[in-house]
Chains A and B, each alone.
Chain A
Amino acid sequence: MDSRVIPHRMKIVILALVLVLVPLCGRAAENSANGLKFLDDLKARLEQAYAALPQDGGQTPVAYRAEALARIEAVRAYLVKEPEAKQASDLIEACRLLTEAAILRVQTRINDHQAQELAQRREDVLRETKETFLRIDQTYQAIDRTERRQIQRLRQDLAKVQRKSAELWQEAQARFNALQGTLLQVKNEAQQTILRLADISFENSRTTLTSDSKINLARVAGILLAFRDLNVAVEGHTDNQGTLAYNQRLSEERAKSVVDYLISMGVDPARLSYAGYNFSRPVAGNDTPEGRDKNRRVDLVIQEKPKP
């Protein structure tokens, strides 16, 4: 038998060994390659996270980063040297845990930096708010000063108007007083004067003014035109001769005649009003002709216009 010839059985054994070992070696190599790739990915993720650190936050070292990188390199070198190491999975898992922790520390650093920025922005906003609040306070003070000045000015203006009004009123009363003789001034108060037309008379129709009465009323109209702050209420009165309805109508018509005449003299109708009071407001007894004469009258109640 030739010694160089391999026995048939030996060939079968060798073939079987090759068939078994080759796949096992391939799987180990594949596992090792996967492990190395996983480690490379871990390293890349860590570096990517670290690159996102803001410049001013990256000056101090981040916890675990150096340790994780050193461990990844050490395990990588070990796996290259010992691809079939039994503890490979634990070594890779340790790298993963450490790298995940390092990435979280990097992200925590980034988050803290962002929180600081937000806090700084809040401080800026609070400062601006405080300044705005101060401006509001100053504006309120300015408004208050302005209002005080305006009120003071209005008071001064009001006092002037009141003084002027009082002067005019005194002057008007003086003019009315000058009409005594034709007009009987019966009441003279601060804001009201009642002029009783002493000898006012009407034509036969009993509502048409006589010429003499018109002359007296024209004097009153002249004063009213000069003093436009005066209003006049014309009141008609009668004696008790006749029925109430008759005297009511008669007193109203006579008061209206006086108003119509004053309007015809140019007095603003808005300043005039009239009313009839029949014989309800006598100023003397109706049992004598003299008393009835006094009761047949027209009163002009002169008032200052109400101020706005």
Chain B
Amino acid sequence: METPARTIACTAGRALVLLVSLGLGLIGCMGGDPILVSRHQGAAVALKAYCQEHQLQSAVVRDADLAFQTGRAALEKDDATTAARKFELAVLGYRLAIAQRDHDLSLERIEKAEVSLKKAEQDLENYSNILKKLKIPVFESNL
């Protein structure tokens, strides 16, 4: 069963991703590498922290971490264009990792729902069998 804490975490993750997306969209409209780098880097840092906090350790996260490091290296060389691209790739990678986590959770919910349904159906079958056995003619004829 999904815990409330997990649900809150998922919701918070989605809200964070939405805010990051909106910010990036605004920055994209405004243009300008320094501001773009700053925004992409800020978003990447926030999403990276979120992934670490929730122990997301997939290959996608590792690729995003690599892009993040490449972006920082580019920034140190004053290559703002490359840094902005790499930070954005990192942001998108983290978003993909979070989407994968949410997808996995949805599969778990299906599995649990199937198990619950199967148990409920088994209970119903048992009770139906009991009811069938109870309705024996000797009693019905005397009711």
Contact = CB atoms under 8 A, between A and B. Distances in A.
Interface of A: 63-64, 67, 87, 90-91, 93-94, 97-98, 100-102, 104-105, 107-108, 111-112, 114-115, 118-119, 121-122, 125-126, 128-129, 132-133, 135-136, 139-140, 142-143, 146, 149-150
B83 to A, nearest CB: 12
A140 B113 contact: no
Interface stretch (B29-37, B48-56, B89-97): B89-97
B39 to A, nearest CB: 15
B7 interface: no
A100 B63 CA distance: 14
Contacts of B102: 104-105, 108
A144 to B, nearest CB: 10
29 contacts: A64-B95, A67-B21, A90-B86, A90-B89, A94-B88, A97-B89, A97-B93, A98-B92, A98-B96, A101-B95, A107-B106, A108-B99, A111-B107, A112-B106, A114-B110, A114-B113, A115-B106, A115-B110, A121-B117, A125-B124, A129-B123, A129-B124, A132-B124, A132-B127, A132-B128, A136-B131, A136-B134, A139-B135, A142-B143
Given A118-B117, A129-B124, A136-B130, A63 B103 contact: no
Interface string B100-143: 10110011011001101100110110011011001100010011
| B: interface residue count bin | 35 or more
A136 B139 CA distance: 13
Interface of B: 14, 17-18, 21, 81, 85-86, 88-89, 92-93, 95-96, 98-100, 102-103, 106-107, 109-110, 113-114, 116-117, 120-121, 123-124, 127-128, 130-131, 134-135, 139, 142-143
- Interface class of chain B by DSSP: helix
Contacts of B85: 87, 90-91, 94
Nearest to A109: B106
Given A112-B109, A122-B120, A129-B127, A101 B96 contact: yes
A97 B131 contact: no
B95 to A, nearest CB: 5
A101 B92 contact: yes
